[in-house]
Amino acid sequence: MKIMSETEIKPINHLDELQAVASDLISELNSGDVIYLTGELGAGKTTFAQYLLSEGGVKEHVKSPTYNLYETYQTASLCYIHMDLYRLTDPEELYFLGIEELVDGHNVLLVEWPEKGLGVMPKPDWLLEFELKNLNRTLTITSKK
């Protein structure tokens, strides 16, 4: 199950399916990639980020960055920045957070609630849309490269 075409819709009703998608995606990522994770509260963005980072070799516990806005995870091969912009009231606040240093062309950015940073956040290389409809969970992956 490789993510080849531009847009793929994956069923993620079971956590092992979510993990399988994370495992596929991690092998497609490059240094500097920006990944948007969208979807309503509780749609599964953080859970997916946890699987993805684990697949990427992060050993420590990945917690939701809701309060700190971002957490950094360094592995042997890549540096990941996991962001949750839910609590931003204005995209300009990202400058106080040091967004210009975080977006350095090397760090892989995983961004929950990217719409809260509209105009300041870089455009995504990957768009991951989490949906929960009639108790049916799907993840739509679009490569913007």
CB of 74 to ligand ATP, least distance (A): 22
- CA 38/CA 56 separation, integer angstroms: 21
Nearest of 23, 111, 132, 99 to residue 66 by alpha carbon: 111
Scanning residues 105 to 144, which ones bind Mg ion (CB under 5 A)?
112
19 is a contact residue toward ligand ATP (CB under 6 A): no
- Considering the complex, state which of residue 105 and residue 134 has its C-beta at the smaller distance from ligand ATP: 134
Nearest of 131, 15, 19 to residue 1 by alpha carbon: 19
CB of 24 to ligand ATP, least distance (A): 15
CB of 46 to ligand ATP, least distance (A): 3
CB atoms within 10 A of CB 26: 17
How many chain residues are in contact with ligand ATP, going by CB under 6 A?
15
Per-residue string for binding with ligand ATP, 40-59, x by CB under 6 A? -xxxxxxx------------
Burial class (CB in 10 A: 0-12, 13-18, 19+), 97: middle
Residue identified by tokens 């990217």 is 114
Q: Interface with ligand ATP by CB under 6 A: which residues?
A: 12, 15, 18, 39, 41-47, 64, 84, 112, 137
